[in-house]
A = this chain, B = another copy of it.
């Protein structure tokens, strides 16, 4: 038989107090004596009582729920981000609803609509893309890796990203230190700020080292896929027979590039060295293992959740813009 669900009223009865008092104890607001508190807490414990979130949400006009919007959880990077956040939110007693948009604006819209009717307390956007649905959920929002459009965003929000310029710089600098003279770049086309900044970092390092900057060394892919990475590498090699290093603004691209090299018997790192960005787990399994720029998923998740909870609680937002350090991980590909 279904273990009959306990209600506030029943707890109140068993504890010999009014429901208002029980509510106060649970939410730790208002006043009540230490004794009452203990008595109520014991009963709650004993009956394993959990407040009905629906009733609570209805009353407060917002649920203990936050939405996490990701373009594609099938991508390990997004998946890790989402789960790291989920477990942290759970600790704060918030249910995280991971919504996969599959890059589709209509699915995103449907999700937002559902989230709204579920009275979500906050939103986290994890994405490299700039899906420009003017999401009209006016709730505290965290953007990861994607600059919120300055207009049309009246809700309080925080933007978190890695030191992308610095990452591009470090990666390129590393290639130079390893002796590369003719360094190509594979990046994502369009105005995605993260990739663009990494590209700028690449240019910066080249300039600093006095290396010539040549458009033939640039390749911009349409998407972040292994196939695009392979194609890009092929193309770069065709245009530059003296290519000896490549910086890719995403690991997936770099891994695709490495694959192309392997299939075509071009030795990495001897002939061409490669550096990626993100540090996903497959980096350690490629042949050779991929050198890359590491972003701390845990740190990003931690800060995102922390800031979101603060905003939800109405605490003043300290910094609307957070930039996180990255680090270089040298492996076999350089």
Contacts and interface: CB of A to CB of B under 8 A. Distances in A.
A2 interface: yes
Q: How many copies does the complex hold?
A: 2
A138 B73 contact: no
Contact of A53 (B79, B95, B111, B118): B118
A207 interface: no
Contacts of A263: 287
Interface residues of A, number: 51
A161 to B, nearest CB: 22
Interface of A: 1-3, 50-55, 57-58, 63, 65, 72-74, 76, 79-80, 82-83, 86-87, 90, 93, 95, 97-100, 102, 107, 110-111, 113-119, 136, 138, 154, 226, 259, 262-263, 281, 285, 287
A74 B80 contact: yes
Nearest to A52: B117
A111 B87 CA distance: 9
30 contacts: A2-B138, A3-B136, A3-B138, A50-B117, A52-B119, A53-B117, A53-B118, A53-B119, A54-B57, A54-B58, A54-B63, A54-B118, A55-B58, A58-B58, A63-B118, A65-B118, A74-B80, A74-B281, A82-B100, A83-B100, A83-B102, A87-B107, A90-B110, A90-B114, A93-B114, A95-B114, A95-B118, A259-B285, A263-B287, A287-B287
